[in-house]
Amino acid sequence: MLATATLLLTAGCSSDDGGSPGGDDRSSPGSTAGRSASPESSAEETPPAKGSAKVLRTVGTDLRSPWGLAPLADGDLLVSSRDDATISRVDAETGETSELGEVPGVSPSGEGGLLGIALSPDYASDRMVYAYFTSASDNRIVRMIHDEDKPEGERLGAPDTVLRGIPKGVVHNGGRIAFGPDRMLYVGTGESGDTGLSQDEKSLGGKILRLTPEGEPAPGNPLPDSAVYSLGHRNVQGLAWDSRQRLFASEFGQNTWDELNAIEPGDNYGWPEAEGTSDEGGFHDPIAQWSTDEASPSGIAYAEGSIWMAGLRGERLWRIPLRGTEASADPQAFLEGEYGRLRTVAAAGDDKLWLVTSNTDGRGDPDGEDDRILEVQVS
């Protein structure tokens, strides 16, 4: 359960994007999958213990190293390519793909490259697309105007840098960005293999950040004049809010536990002093945890009363039913091994999700249609 929130300054040693130095595809000690804490008492409606996930159709195919996904109001999808540094538009009806353009300044290497993308809260009027990427010197966030009237390949305007100076590494670059219900920009970062950064409140690494759309520390952040919203993270690649605007985040463990966390401003989530549930004081425990070979979690989304979590090495879609900010039942796995590595999951409205595979990232076993975007019906 929740321990006292403290901002500790400690040091530690390094690791990679999902575990040991081989990245998020790695061996791990055998252990029980999906352990969850006992649910807190709550008057909220609790989803059934057992749910379902059914792939309705394949929306897009032949995508190269897809990473970020941003649904447009008309139903089409923007998708980023980590290694090609491009953003493309996928027609959700026909699957036809057209390239908006290449994002300048991206330096793909290891687990870095063009990662998460998000639409401005005022996208209908300002047409701004935000992107998180690895440059030659750091990880940074930029925004670009999306102009559909320009020729294919030239539809992205010059990037305006919103935030620079997020630590980069061959591993642990974080990369997920999302605008919250408060219209602020939330950013999941990694500690870039330098575990001491996670507990350093002056570093942007190993954190969840909260920014204004212009890249300034958001009003009401727990530390004065700081973008840091929570700390003690290893590598955050999933951000989602439930129906009551509560934030959840997925996190890669090292060799023992991957995590799903309920995020509270100013709380310390323990890395590198704690991995998974811990008896250490001052750390916020995860609401669910998995052995690292069963998850390696990247994107998450909220739908039908549950968090849905994409597993890379685990090659499955996890459902974590919620009651308040606790898991109300044991997590449940779907699509195990059917589509390979799963990178990103996003809400598609009602009981639908968009699910993006990740088999062309150098660690998967792609088939003739990879990578792809799937439409999934869940309950």
pLDDT digits 0-9 by tens, 208-262: 999 999 999 999 999 999 999 999 999 999 999 999 999 999 999 999 999 999 9
Q: Supply 329's token pair.
A: 């039942």
| pLDDT, tens digit (0-9, with 9 covering 90-100), for 251-287 | 999 999 999 999 999 999 999 999 999 988 899 999 9
CA distance 372 to 335: 14
* Count of C-beta atoms within a 10 Å radius of residue 2: 15
- For residue 90, what are the CA distances in angstroms to 66, 93, 179? 12, 9, 21
Pick 280 or 136 by higher pLDDT. 136
What per-residue confidence (pLDDT) applies to 43?
A: 65
Taking Cα atoms as reference points, which of 326, 347, 257 lies closest to residue 296? 257
Tokens of 214: 């212009």
What string of DSSP letters covers 63-114?
-SSEEEEEE-TTS-EEEEETTT-EEEEE-TTT--EEEEEEPTT---BTTBSE
- Does a cis peptide bond (omega within 30 degrees of 0) precede residue 25? no
Q: What is the pLDDT of residues 101-119, one digit of tens each?
A: 999 999 999 999 999 999 9
Residue entry with tokens 């294919």: 152
Q: With contact defined as beta carbons under 8 Å apart, do 292 and 254 qualify?
A: yes
Q: In which residue are the tokens 């999941």 written?
A: 188
Q: Taking 90 as the threshold, does the pLDDT of residue 136 lie above it? A: yes
Q: Is the pLDDT of residue 40 over 50?
A: no
pLDDT tens per residue, range 324-367: 999 999 999 999 999 999 999 999 999 999 999 999 999 999 99
The rounded percent of the chain whose pLDDT value lies above 90 is 87
Sign of the torsion formed by the C-alpha atoms of 187, 18, 348 and 354: positive
In this prediction, residue 61 has a pLDDT band, given cuts at 50, 70 and 90, of very high
Residue 237 C-beta-side C-alpha neighbours within 13 Å? 31
- Spatial contact of 128 and 141, defined as CB atoms under 8 Å apart: no
Output the pLDDT for position 13. Answer: 33
Asked if residues 255 and 291 have their Cβ atoms less than 8 Å apart, the reply is no
Least confident of 16-30, 86-100, 188-202, 238-252: 16-30
